[in-house]
Amino acid sequence: MDARRQSEPTPTKNRTTVERKSERELVVTRTFNGPARIVFEAWTKPELFKRWWVPKSFGLSLLSCDMDVRVGGTYRLVFAASPEPMAFFGRYNEVIPHSRLVWTNDEGGEDGAITTVTFEERGAETLVVMHDLYPSKEALDASGNTGGVSETFEQLDELLVTLGASVGRS
C-alpha cells in the first residue's frame, strides 16, 4: 500500500481552455486526473457539486443546492445575495452516466443557455467538455457581465481616456 502510494504521479494542474466557438456558443475544456465515473459523480452529487461550483475565492455562499439528476429532473441553487437570495435553476434533458449531461438554465427566462457536458475517459484521465449554447449572440455577450464590475471597468476606461492613455494606441 505504501509502495503504491509513493509510485503515484504527483497531480499536476491541467489547463482550462475557454473558447467562443460561435456567436452563440461557449466551450470550456479541462482534463481531470481521474476516471470518468469519479468526475461524473462530482458533477451529479449535490454534496460534492456545491463544493466546487462556487469557488471559495468568490466569497459567495450557497444557501442550498438541490439536484434531481435524471431526465426531466430539476436542479436549484440558491446563493446569498442582497437584497434577496439569487436562484439558478433548470431541468436535466439528458443524463448518460459517466458520459453526458444536458441541462437547461431557466433563471434567465428566454435568454438561458443549454449546457452540455461530456466526459471522455482517456487512460487514467477524463476530458471534460462543457458547451453552452445560447439562444442569441446578445445573451452570450451578456453572460460575461457580473453586476457592477463592467460598470467599474467602464469608469476606469473613461479615466484612462481622460488621461490621454488611449491616444494613438493601435
Partner 1 sequence: MVQYLRARLDASFAAISDATRRGVLEQLGRADASITDLAVKFEMTLTGMKKHVGVLEQAGLVTTEKVGRVRTCKLGPHGLEEEAAWIEGHRQLWDARFDELDDIVEELKRKKRKEKVDGRKKTE
Binding letters toward partner 1, positions 94-133, x by CB under 8 A: ------------------------------------x---
Site stretch for partner 1 (CB under 8 A), options 32-40, 73-81, 82-90, 110-118: 32-40
Span 60-99, contacts to partner 1 by CB under 8 A: 60
Which triple of cell numbers denotes residue 83?
A: 437584497
Per-position DSSP letters for 106-117, written without gaps between them: -TTGGGPPEEEE
Q: Which of 42, 76, 78, 79 is nearest to 59 (CA)?
A: 79
Handedness of CA 79, 46, 140, 112 (dihedral sign): negative
Nearest residue (CB) to partner 1, 71 versus 137? 137
Per-position DSSP letters for 35-102, written without gaps between them: -HHHHHHHHH-HHHHHHHSS-GGG---EEEEEE--STT-EEEEEE--SSS-EEEEEEEEEEETTTEEE
Interface residue with partner 1 among 21, 58, 68, 86 (CB under 8 A) is: 58
Site stretch for partner 1 (CB under 8 A), options 62-70, 84-92, 100-108, 154-162: 154-162
Q: Which residues bind partner 1 (CB under 8 A)?
A: 1, 11, 13-14, 16-20, 26, 28, 30, 32-34, 38-39, 41-42, 48, 51-53, 55-60, 130, 141, 143-144, 146-147, 149, 152-153, 156-157, 159-160, 163-169
